[in-house]
Amino acid sequence: MSLGLINPDDLPIPEMYTQVVVATGSKLVFVSGQQREDIYGKLVGHCDFAAQARLAFGNLGRALSAAGVQPEQVCKDHNLHCRL
């Protein structure tokens, strides 16, 4: 199994990790935890949880899209009890 490393153009580029990892062969996709940072690494929504959540979930959607994955294909727990 090989691993594809993706840092989408519309997400901040981290120094110490990769935003998305795709394990080819069985197509497992691992997405890093998303924070309240815009594409420039600037914190968004100071004291505004709703704005921070919108940005974090938007970033998650962009990361999934970069790997060719739809939100309904995401497993909700680490035991992979999901239907793809």
Domain that residue 8 falls in? 3-73
81 lies in some domain: no
Residue 1 has pLDDT above 80, yes or no: no
Q: What is the pLDDT of residue 84?
A: 45
Q: What is the pLDDT of residue 82?
A: 47
How much is the pTM?
0.65
83 lies in some domain: no
**Strands 3-6, 28-31: parallel, antiparallel or unpaired by DSSP?**
unpaired
Distance separating alpha carbons of residues 61 and 57, to the nearest angstrom: 6
CATH code of 20's domain: 3.30.1330.40
80 lies in some domain: no
79 lies in some domain: no
Which tens digits make up the pLDDT trace of 50-82?
A: 999 999 999 999 999 999 988 877 766 554 444
Token digits for 60? Answer: 């998650």
**C-alpha pair distances (Å), 60 with each of 8, 14, 40, 68:** 11, 15, 16, 12
78 lies in some domain: no
25 lies in some domain: yes
7 lies in some domain: yes
31 lies in some domain: yes
Number of domains in the chain: 1
Which tens digits make up the pLDDT trace of 8-66?
A: 999 988 888 899 988 878 778 888 888 888 888 888 888 999 999 999 999 999 999 99
